[in-house]
Chain A
Amino acid sequence: MRPCLSHIGVILRIALSTAALLASPGAMAQIVGEKADSPPNEGRYLYKPVPDILVHSWPEEAVRLSELWRERPILLTLIFTRCAGVCSPLLRSLKAAIASIGGAGREYTLVVLSFDARDTPSDMAGLAEHLELSKDRAWIFGVASAEDIARLVRATGFWFEWEEASRQYDHPAMVIGIREGRIVRFLIGGTVSPVRVQEVVREMRGEFVPAYPLPRRNVLFRCFQYDPTSGRWRPDWGFLLLLIPGTMTILGTVWIFRRERKHRAWEDRESS
């Protein structure tokens, strides 16, 4: 019954930037990970282990993901600092969502990791500064070795590709919920709504989240409509369809017996 996120019809691509002036890192003109037109299919990665990679942050600090997830669940996101597209809006909306639900650093840690080999720990520190998050201990901005990034990408369904024309990486926007080293949820898309993050946090806490909105439209006869802000659902008229068989049977049976009544009277006369 769990709706999966693979059905989002929207393809998330980075907006092209005309102002990209940076030199192309020749060695990276390739796809890392399994590129797909649709966002990673959550179902394929759910409860799979995440590689325990080493994250370097500024200044000169290195921490293993396992050290983090042993303490509390992690919300991980992969970006690159020179992004002219979705990365920045993604981080801003994540920050806003986190601020509104609270609990960062207490219930979970946020890890922002660059997949771009050109990024250094200090680039990442700059990004944190820019987002006014450098003082927040709940947020870790870092980089990792190219091999580690490749392992992480393979384990999570993330991918990125260098596009020479725009001099930008094409990549999906996603936040990955990790509990005790395993993937528990994906949040796909450039905007992160507080309700959805709240769900992921509850899920990472080990709580059972019974429903979240199915990003499919055109559903015929829904049983329920789900309201994500209140977390409640109310019956929709698809449920009425369940009354049809019973009602039609009653009517049909009465009809059959009425239709044969003449016959019955005739038989009675004959037998008497």
Chain B
Amino acid sequence: MAERTVVSPVWLGMEQQRWRRLTSTWMMVMLLLFPILLLLGAFMRIVQANLLPTLLPEWFYAVMTLHGLGMVGTWFVGAMAAVSYILTQYVRPSRKVSWTALGATLLGVVLLLATTLVGRFGVGWYFLYPLPFYPAGIWPTWATWAFLFSLAILGVGWTIWAVDLLRAIAQHYSLRAALAWHYIRGETEPEIPPAVLITTVSLISALSGFLAAVIILVLSFLEWAGTGFTNDALLMKNLIFFFGHVLVNITMYLGVVLVYDVLPRYSGRPWKTNRIVAIAWNTVLFLVLFAYFHHLYMDFVQPQWMQVLGQVASYLISVPAAVVTIFSTLLLVYGASMRWTLSSLLMYLGVMGWAIGGVAAVIDSTIAVNLRFHNTLWVPAHFHTYYLMGVVLMLLGFAAHFGLEVSERPENGRLAKLIAALFVIGGYGFLSMFYVGGAHSVPRRYAVYPQEVMQGVDYARIALGFIAVLFLGVLLYLWETGRRCALAFRTSESS
């Protein structure tokens, strides 16, 4: 993209330094949590491979909860931080709010660590009602409280953060402009960078998801405070997936913002908003509230029209946005004098991973297929694809770009290619074992596979080999980029 003017000249000096410090802090938090959470994932595969036969299964579930929530949260905050940095080219978000969100995040993480690793709270990442209230003697009462409390802290911190980013956008663009409605009418003035459009769409969606979370928390506290009320399980499930689906989805979209903004710098061609891009992302905004119904296909009480709407919305929401992005990426790269650095390689791979995971997701969001694949390993297979090989690569790509830009240390091109290769082999190898498992009816969330699905044990063992390859890639990446982010932190101004 042609370098756009920065918001104000002040920004170039102190402001820029401060944003660098803030962003490098966020990136270091993200890069620290990633390998730990990855090892927790490996731990689960070790349990499923029957390599720890004496371990109590509740540890599997506690680790699963921590890994799932930790990953979802880490990449969400990473994406928010990265997008904030990108947005500073166009608008002026508040650094203070971002630091506050960091504080809230760290506090939430500490509480989560305690609930899962000390309290053995093992309900899975979306804490489906009423499981948190039925510990079956596994976790103590305080663990449920601490969990709800940590969600409340994270929810408040992240909501304020999202509101602030929206506010920053609103200071510069009207709502109609930010949503690029004039592009749909065929006008191209004023110019709206894709980053602004997609971020606006994502943040509005995020707010609705957080509001759903607020309702969940209030209802949970009401039940728990001993008011004598119990909740309606179907309502809770609807709200939970409203929240969960939206959170995961917009993390993906925020990742795409990074690609739209960073990848053009390596291809030397601009990537502008156009009519199709505007239509695709407005479709996303319009349908984001309905796609989550695909999580409730097996809930027979849910009315038929909601299920149908869920399938239609799932297709319409993913296909246009993904197709537009993927084609644009290909066009951007095809025939361009692309500079293949660690950053551009990872971002490119990330878009492809999104495509592959997206296809797998659309397959699973088809009611007839979901009847077979529901709660098999196909589910972790598809979401690990668009996460691990999608949004994670986009964010790692961003961090590499950021580290390079700020530290101004040249990169080792061969190492970059080696890292990308290890990610592809390790990542897709690991994922393929999830897919094969799903296709062979291996259920998800089993610590110990029963006789009927013993094949799951072999898949878990093979997966471990690939995870090791991936982990090696991650270590090399951390050596390359982690160092640069740390350097960026040290050399930037403290605020």
The interface of chain A, by Cβ under 8 A from chain B, is: 1, 208, 210-211, 216, 218-224, 233, 235, 238-239, 241-242, 244-246, 248-249, 252-254, 256-257, 259-261, 263-264, 267
Which residues from chain A contact B238 at a C-beta distance below 8 Å? 223, 242
B406 in contact (CB, < 8 A): no
Kindly identify which residue among A208, A233, A244 contacts B215, using a CB–CB cutoff of 8 Å.
A244
A260 & B170 in contact (Cβ 8 Å cutoff)? yes
Which residues from chain A contact B171 at a C-beta distance below 8 Å? 260, 263-264, 267
- Most chain A Cβ neighbours within 10 Å, of B173, B209, B222, B233: B233
A207–B66 Cα gap in the complex (Å)? 39
B166 & A222 in contact (Cβ 8 Å cutoff)? no
A257 & B211 in contact (Cβ 8 Å cutoff)? no
Kindly identify which residue among A210, A244, A257 contacts B170, using a CB–CB cutoff of 8 Å.
A257
How close is A6's CB to chain B, nearest CB, in angstroms?
A: 11
Ranked nearest first, the 5 interchain pairs of A and B with the lowest CB-CB distance are: A260-B170, A245-B211, A249-B208, A257-B175, A210-B300
B242 & A242 in contact (Cβ 8 Å cutoff)? yes
B208 & A221 in contact (Cβ 8 Å cutoff)? no
**B200-239 toward A: CB 8 Å interface, digit per residue (1/0)?**
0000100111011001000100110000111111110011
B299 in contact (CB, < 8 A): yes
**What are 28 sample pairs from A and B whose C-beta atoms fall under 8 A apart?**
A1-B233, A1-B300, A1-B301, A210-B301, A211-B300, A216-B230, A218-B228, A220-B223, A220-B231, A242-B242, A245-B209, A245-B289, A246-B208, A248-B208, A248-B211, A252-B163, A253-B166, A253-B207, A256-B166, A256-B170, A257-B170, A260-B167, A260-B171, A261-B170, A261-B174, A263-B170, A263-B171, A264-B171
Q: Residue on B with the closest CB to A214?
A: B233
Interface size class of B (residues with CB under 8 A): 35 or more
Q: Is the interface of A mostly helix, strand, loop or mixed?
A: helix
Which residues from chain B contact A242 at a C-beta distance below 8 Å? 235, 238-239, 242
B231 & A245 in contact (Cβ 8 Å cutoff)? no
B301 & A218 in contact (Cβ 8 Å cutoff)? no
A1–B301 Cα gap in the complex (Å)? 9
Kindly identify which residue among B167, B229, B300 contacts A218, using a CB–CB cutoff of 8 Å.
B229
A260–B170 Cα gap in the complex (Å)? 6
Which residues from chain A contact B233 at a C-beta distance below 8 Å? 1
A233–B215 Cα gap in the complex (Å)? 24
B175 & A254 in contact (Cβ 8 Å cutoff)? yes
- Most chain A Cβ neighbours within 10 Å, of B170, B175, B239: B170
Given A242-B242, A254-B175, A256-B163; A220-B219 close (CB under 8 Å):
yes
A252 & B232 in contact (Cβ 8 Å cutoff)? no
How close is B458's CB to chain A, nearest CB, in angstroms?
A: 28
A245 & B212 in contact (Cβ 8 Å cutoff)? yes
Q: Residue on A with the closest CB to B168?
A: A260
Interface residues of B in 159-188 (CB under 8 A from A): 163, 166-167, 170-175, 178
A233–B204 Cα gap in the complex (Å)? 34
How close is B45's CB to chain A, nearest CB, in angstroms?
A: 30
A241 & B239 in contact (Cβ 8 Å cutoff)? yes
Which residues from chain B contact A239 at a C-beta distance below 8 Å? 235
A41–B211 Cα gap in the complex (Å)? 36
A219 & B232 in contact (Cβ 8 Å cutoff)? yes
How close is B489's CB to chain A, nearest CB, in angstroms?
A: 32
B204 & A221 in contact (Cβ 8 Å cutoff)? no
A270–B301 Cα gap in the complex (Å)? 58
Interface residues of B in 37-65 (CB under 8 A from A): none
- Most chain A Cβ neighbours within 10 Å, of B174, B228, B232: B232
B170 & A259 in contact (Cβ 8 Å cutoff)? yes
Which residues from chain A contact B242 at a C-beta distance below 8 Å? 242, 245
B219 & A223 in contact (Cβ 8 Å cutoff)? no
How close is B366's CB to chain A, nearest CB, in angstroms?
A: 21
Kindly identify which residue among A219, A220, A256 contacts B167, using a CB–CB cutoff of 8 Å.
A256
Which residues from chain A contact B172 at a C-beta distance below 8 Å? 264, 267
Kindly identify which residue among A224, A246, A249 contacts B301, using a CB–CB cutoff of 8 Å.
A224
Which residues from chain A contact B173 at a C-beta distance below 8 Å? 264
Given A223-B301, A257-B174; A238-B208 close (CB under 8 Å):
no
How close is A258's CB to chain B, nearest CB, in angstroms?
A: 8
How close is A170's CB to chain B, nearest CB, in angstroms?
A: 27
A233 & B212 in contact (Cβ 8 Å cutoff)? no
Given A244-B215, A245-B242, A256-B170; A219-B231 close (CB under 8 Å):
yes
Which residues from chain B contact A224 at a C-beta distance below 8 Å? 234, 301
Which residues from chain B contact A267 at a C-beta distance below 8 Å? 171-172
Given A257-B175, A261-B174; A238-B232 close (CB under 8 Å):
yes
